Copies of this chain bind each other. A is one copy, B any other.
Amino acid sequence: MAKIVQCVPNFSEGVDKILIEKIIDEIRKVEGTKLLDYSMDKDHNRCVTTFIGTPEAVEEAAFNACKKAAELIDMSKHKGEHPRMGATDVIPLIPITDVTVEECIEMSKRIGKRIGEELGISVFLYEKSASASHRENLASVRKGQYENMNEKMKDNEWKPDYGPDTLNVKAGATAVGARMPLVAFNVNLGTDNLEIANKIAKSVRGRNGGFTACKALGVEIKERNIVQVTMNMVDYISTPLYRVFDMIEREANRYGVNVIGSEIIGLVPMMALINCADYYLKIENFREDQILEKRIYE
């Protein structure tokens, strides 16, 4: 397969479809990209766009779309429920096929530099690209939102990575960063006892000493009379699905409860599952290029 990066830029416009189409045309125009999806939300006044492509094409398309959004969206007039700080609010870069997270970090820096220098927009590198640990979390970067960013950037802790130290009034500020694809993974327990699901969620999630790249909650599935550990796996390489699954099974057994099933919600990268097969079958020296489909698209 060719090198594939996914990009999920968020634009601060959720009502005007003609305007959004103009931004998205900048993505469509770049050869080597493929638009997978975009959705506009009126209350959030925000558009989430998903596209993929070769690293070069994604880099070009992300910059061009950001440039067009800066022309068309006026943040000084923007209202919406979702936290936001810029016309192009955030540009996440996600390694999909034959691309490392390091390559996506380099891409984010090049895109950020161009946005800063050519468009005069303040840029914060976040997540895997962050220049300091307090800038990894997008919510922390965006805290104060558009209205308070000018003030916030006066603090040395929040000096932008690229672009001016004073806010671009029309376009606001933009976060750019590499992150791993997110896998929504739920494990169902053979009990209706929510307390058990909550205890297990607490034991596996990073926040409470569990697996770093696992966010977990206990929830009730009322129609089935069971409970579930519902998870966001934010880095399936450093925290693999099988490791969390096995740990949940062990913790559940401690309460005399069985794991009765699991769910993958939405999309999952092929390797997040192949890695599980590799683990359970104890395959020695498996190489990704042994996957037939990889030969087809190389």
Contact = CB atoms under 8 A, between A and B. Distances in A.
A293 B298 CA distance: 13
Contacts of A181: 292
Chain A interface, >50% SS class: mixed
A31 to B, nearest CB: 16
B282 A259 contact: yes
A21 interface: no
Contacts of A286: 264
A158 interface: no
A284 B187 CA distance: 10
A115 to B, nearest CB: 26
B262 A291 contact: no
Q: Which 7 A-B pairs have the closest CB atoms?
A: A276-B277, A273-B277, A280-B280, A261-B284, A267-B292, A270-B293, A261-B282
Identical chains bound together, number? 2
17 contacts: A1-B293, A1-B296, A4-B296, A34-B296, A96-B292, A96-B296, A97-B293, A181-B292, A245-B281, A261-B282, A262-B281, A263-B284, A267-B295, A270-B291, A273-B274, A274-B274, A280-B280
Interface of A: 1, 4, 6, 34, 36, 52, 96-97, 181, 188, 241-242, 245, 259-264, 266-270, 273-278, 280-286, 290-293, 295-297
